[in-house]
């Protein structure tokens, strides 16, 4: 979430400097063949770019620099991906963030992801499960290991293909609802 120290003044803390660097950095886009190498630390930086239609918040930051996760950046991701219904957050699995970031790079878009669902409390998951048979009883959303995402300029098929190319977790295609589920659980794919 973009912050400023005073109205109109840029944030000069580490987070603000890293965010400014992310906006100006030119990073080579990996091909599908080397997508897994990206997760192994082949890149010097990793960036995540999302917005939430539910809260109106945006997130565009570098969360990995020179082989290390940036603690403050991960804290911002945790808050951004919180269960907005109950305003509760947990630590999001950094591997899930890596999968989302690697997939986004493979898609070669500047557009941020639209986050439909990140962390869910057990209460929220049970409520959603009561309204839809597509919600898993032991959803990885409750562990901070999953996200449901959408892009305006890429189809469900394109997003799912990029996420599957990362070969690091689960990928679900939800064509009718127009989103892709990405998680850091076992490698598998499904369609609904």
User: Whole-model pTM?
Assistant: 0.77
Question: pLDDT tier at 39 (50, 70, 90 boundaries)?
Answer: low
What does the pLDDT look like over 13-27, one tens digit per residue? 444 444 444 443 333
> Average pLDDT over the chain, rounded to whole?
83
Question: pLDDT tier at 84 (50, 70, 90 boundaries)?
Answer: very high
Position 132 pLDDT exceeds 60 = yes
Question: pLDDT above 90 covers what percent of the chain?
Answer: 69
Return the pLDDT at 167: 92
To the question of domain 14-191 being in CATH 3.40.50.10490, the answer is no
Inter-residue long-range contacts of 21-28, CB under 8 Å, 24+ positions, other chains counted: 21/45, 21/62, 22/47, 22/60, 22/61, 22/62, 23/60, 25/62, 27/105
Question: pLDDT tier at 43 (50, 70, 90 boundaries)?
Answer: low
Inter-residue long-range contacts of 153-162, CB under 8 Å, 24+ positions, other chains counted: 153/109, 153/111, 154/107, 154/109, 156/180, 158/107, 159/103, 159/107, 160/189, 162/32, 162/35, 162/103, 162/104, 162/106, 162/107
Position 85 pLDDT exceeds 90 = yes
Question: pLDDT above 70 covers what percent of the chain?
Answer: 78
Question: pLDDT tier at 37 (50, 70, 90 boundaries)?
Answer: low
Q: For 111-132, what is the mean pLDDT?
A: 92
């Amino acid at each position: 979430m973009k912050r400023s120290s005073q109205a109109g003044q840029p944030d000069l803390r580490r987070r603000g400097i890293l965010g400014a660097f992310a906006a100006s950095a030119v990073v080579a886009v990996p091909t599908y063949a080397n997508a897994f190498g990206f997760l192994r630390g082949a890149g010097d930086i990793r960036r995540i770019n999302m917005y939430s239609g539910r809260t109106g918040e945006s997130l565009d930051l570098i969360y990995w620099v020179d082989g290390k996760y940036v603690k403050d950046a991960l804290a911002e991701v945790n808050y951004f991906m919180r269960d907005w219904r109950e305003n509760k957050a947990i630590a999001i699995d950094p591997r899930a963030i890596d999968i989302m970031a690697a997939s986004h790079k493979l898609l070669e878009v500047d557009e941020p992801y639209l986050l439909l669902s990140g962390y869910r409390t057990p209460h929220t998951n049970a409520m959603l499960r009561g309204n839809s048979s597509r919600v898993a009883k032991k959803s990885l959303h409750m562990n901070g290991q999953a996200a449901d995402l959408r892009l305006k300029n890429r189809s469900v098929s394109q997003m799912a293909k990029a996420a599957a190319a990362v070969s690091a977790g689960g990928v679900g295609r939800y064509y009718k609802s127009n989103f892709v589920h990405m998680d850091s659980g076992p490698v598998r794919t499904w369609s609904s």
